[in-house]
Every structure is written in C-alpha cells, then in structure tokens.
Amino acid sequence: VQCPYHRCRLRPRWGRIFKSLSDEKQEDIYEQYQKFLNSIPAGDTVTLNFINTFEDFEDRLKRVAPAIQGDNLDKYRKEYTDILSEKLRSARTSIATAKYFTYSIVSPSVDDAMARFEEIDNDVLSSFEKICGEKAKPLSLERRLEVMHDIMNKGDESFFFEHDENGKTTIDWARIRKLGLTTKDIIAPPSFKFSNSNFMIGERYGQTLFLDSIANWLNTNFLTELTEASFESCIALRIVPIAPEETSTLIKRRNIAITNDVIEAQKKAMKNNISPEFISVDIKNAKMQIDELQDDLLNRDQKMFIIGLVITHFADSEAELKTQKNIIKNIALKYVCGFKSLNMQQERGLFASMPFGTNRAFENIRRLIKTESLGVFMPFDFAAATQEG
C-alpha cells in the first residue's frame, strides 16, 4: 500500500488549546510531545482514542459541586452550585470526552509482554507528566471492558459490571466462567447490521469515516474541534513509527524516482527547444520536498510515522447520521482536510475506532508523516490532559 507523504511547515498554527499559555510554554509542550513520539520504538504501535458520550446532568453536577458541610458556609456552597448548574446547562449538550492511550507491542510470550509493559507504564506515565503536568494511570481490564460495553450498549446497564465503594469497576470472573460466557458476551450489543456506508448497532445508527487528506498548515484546533462535536462518537488516531533504516531506504527510492523524473523532463524540454529549467512545477515541488525531508531526518531529529485517523459517530436515525456526517466534513474543510466514508469496511471501522489497539481498517488508509506534523495531533487540552482510567 502506498503511503503518501504529508509535508508540514516548520511550525504548526497554535489553536485555542494553548491560548492561556505563554509562547514559551506552548513551544515546550510541543517539543516535549515530539520527544515522546520519537521515543516510541519501531515495532510498537500507539493508538489515541477519544470517546464522546452523553453525560447525565445530575452526575456531572455532583462531581464538580462543593459538598454541603452543615456549617454557616453552606449558603455560599449552594449559591456556587447554582452557578455551576447554570453553566453546565448551557454547555455543549452534556457531552463528555474520555481520552485513552493504547500501547501495543509484539512479544514472543505473555510473560515477556507483561515485563515489557511494566517498563512502558513507567516511561509513558513519566512522559505524560513532563508534557502537561498531569498524571495518567493504567486502565484495568474490567474498566476497559466496561468502556466498550457502554459504547455498544447506550444507556443499558449490565449486571456483569459492579463497583466498589471507591467506584472501581469489578467483574465476578468465577460467575462468568460458571455461566460459560466470554468477555465478548458481556460487552456485545443486542445486534449488529452492517451495510456499505453505515451500520446499525441495536436500535442506533452508526458510520465510520476516515481522514483522507491533510492540510500543509496543520492547526491544533482540528482534533479539538472534532472531539467537541455535540454527538456521540469514537475517534482513533493510530501511530506506527518506521525504523530509521526503512525510512532511509524509502527516501532514497523516492529521491531516485524524482531525480529520474527531473532528468526525463529536462530531456523532453531540450528536444522541444525549451530551456531545461522550465519543467513541471509539480516535479520541482516534489524534488524540493524530498530534499527538505532528507534534511529534517538527518539534521533536525525527525522520525517518520505511518498514521491513520478514523471517526465513528452514532445517531438515532439515518437523517441525523447524515447531518452529523456533514458537520464532520465541514469541520475538516475548515482546516483544509477531508474525510471519506469507509465503504465496505464499516465493521472494521467500528472496531478500529474503539480502544482495542487493533490494526483492523487501518491497512488501506495510511499516511506517511514526520514528527513535527504528527505533534500537532496533540491529545491534551487546556482543561485536562487525561481522563479517568
């Protein structure tokens, strides 16, 4: 599969994500995130997931409102709660965004994988804290399953998931085995029905789109605005680093091909009594881009990555689904990017957008990108860097 190379300018356009920070702090976060991306070894895969769900208003208010203490300050607490209530009611239809980071590796055995994951946990958590000053924590198997259940079973509670006094998700595995069930059974929806360009999951409609084109000038607001759309959705950005030797071979082959195109164009121009300097602008630009890329890789600590971005959105009707699709496409057009429907691959697209860390649906929607371009797809915002785990 060919991976078109995306060329980005030397610096991204900072969006409202960092508007409250100084220029120096913005650059520091951006540089730290690039260092983290460059630290991912070839062979490993990282997937950033953004899960948008409707949140119960009372639950949301309860989390942020001050608790009544039974003292003479309660009247102020109630007044503050009223202000919070008004603000939350005017917010974006009570959409909550949970952010998950899935790290996938290839290992000869489970024991080796677990040992490696312990190292990865320390490295990743330390990196995140350096980048944004916030702490993340590993997601338990039970909580991950509950997240997937909630995506596929909107509003339907499952008696398989229980919560202790601290809110930690637990599962009675002995009971699961006794019933002869698997993890698939406890997260599965009532039904699936997939068609060419959309699907039904229970009584809901869904559709998966993929990022087909990216602007040369990338903007940090692009990903933020997608996650702020006021409907339920799952967004997944899959990141696969390329080994330096493979990158070198790829660039050399591309350089040879472009050089041959330049020579052929110059020969053709001379035969037609035209100066060899007047060759196709596209060929000149391609040559300039590959030369700049070589310089970036050799002198500016840039690495190459293969990325894929998909978004699955859910609605109660096909008409609503179409409206949501237009919203997504308009957001992309605003940033000179483009989304297309993942035709004939809706099933793969659905599961690729969820926090499984799988490769399904990403094989044919890959793009080649360098570190500073990828760094613009930053998963952090001004309010919080991580979500519950």
Residues 146-166 pLDDT 10s: 999 999 998 788 889 998 887
At 266-309, the pLDDT tens digits run: 788 778 777 766 667 777 777 777 787 777 777 777 888 989 99
pLDDT score of 172: 93
Q: What are the CB-based long-range contacts (under 8 Å, 24+) for 327-330?
A: 327/229, 327/231, 328/209, 328/226, 328/229, 329/209
4 has pLDDT over 70: no
Q: Encode 12-37: b = buried (16+ Cβ within 10 Å), e = exposed.
A: bebbebbeeeeeeebeebbebbbebb
Helix (H), strand (E) at residue 279: none
pLDDT for 2 equals 37
Residue 295's pLDDT is 79
Which residue from 355, 386, 357 is spatially nearest to 149, judged by alpha carbons?
355
Mean per-residue pLDDT, 78-105: 78
The lowest-confidence range among 67-76, 219-228, 284-293, 347-356 is 284-293
Calpha distance 181→353 (Å, rounded): 25
Contact 17, 132 (CB under 8 A): no
What type of residue sits at position 159?
A: F
Q: Is the pLDDT of residue 16 over 90?
A: no
pLDDT tens sequence across 334-371:
988 999 999 999 999 999 999 887 766 666 677 888 88
Question: Which one is predicted more confidently, 65 or 46?
Answer: 46
Measured N-to-C along each axis, helices 74-89 and 57-64 cross at an angle, to the nearest 10 degrees, of: 140
Give the position of tokens 């639950």. 59
310-343 CB burial, b ≥16 within 10 A, e <16 = bbbbbbeeeeebeebbeebbebbeebebebebbe
Handedness of CA 250, 242, 238, 134 (dihedral sign): negative
Q: Give CA–CA dist 253/368, Å, rounded.
A: 15
Confidence band, pLDDT 50/70/90 cuts, at residue 333: very high
Residue 164 has a pLDDT of 85
- Across 371-388, average pLDDT: 65
Which of 243 and 64 is assigned the larger pLDDT? Answer: 243
Q: In the block, which residue shows the tokens 């050399």?
A: 252
For residue 63, give Cα distances in angstroms to 81, 94, 123, 220, 254: 11, 13, 30, 29, 54
For residues 346 and 198, is the Cβ–Cβ distance under 8 A? yes
> Quick check: 6 pLDDT over 50?
no
pLDDT at 15 over 80: no
Residue 163: partners with Cβ closer than 8 Å, 6 or more residues away: 169, 170
Residue 84 token pair: 């919070």
Q: What is the pTM of this model?
A: 0.79
Q: Tell me if 171 sits within 8 A of 283, measured CB to CB.
A: no
pLDDT averaged over the chain? 82
Residues 46, 101 contacting (CB under 8 angstroms): yes
Q: What phi and psi values does residue 273 have, to the nearest 5 degrees?
A: 60, 40
Q: Tell me the percentage of the chain whose pLDDT exceeds 90.
A: 31
Assess contact for 158 and 148: CB atoms under 8 A.
no
pLDDT of 312 above 90? yes
CA distances from 188 to 182, 202, 272 (A): 10, 10, 67
Give the Cα separation of 188 and 328 in Å (integer). Answer: 27
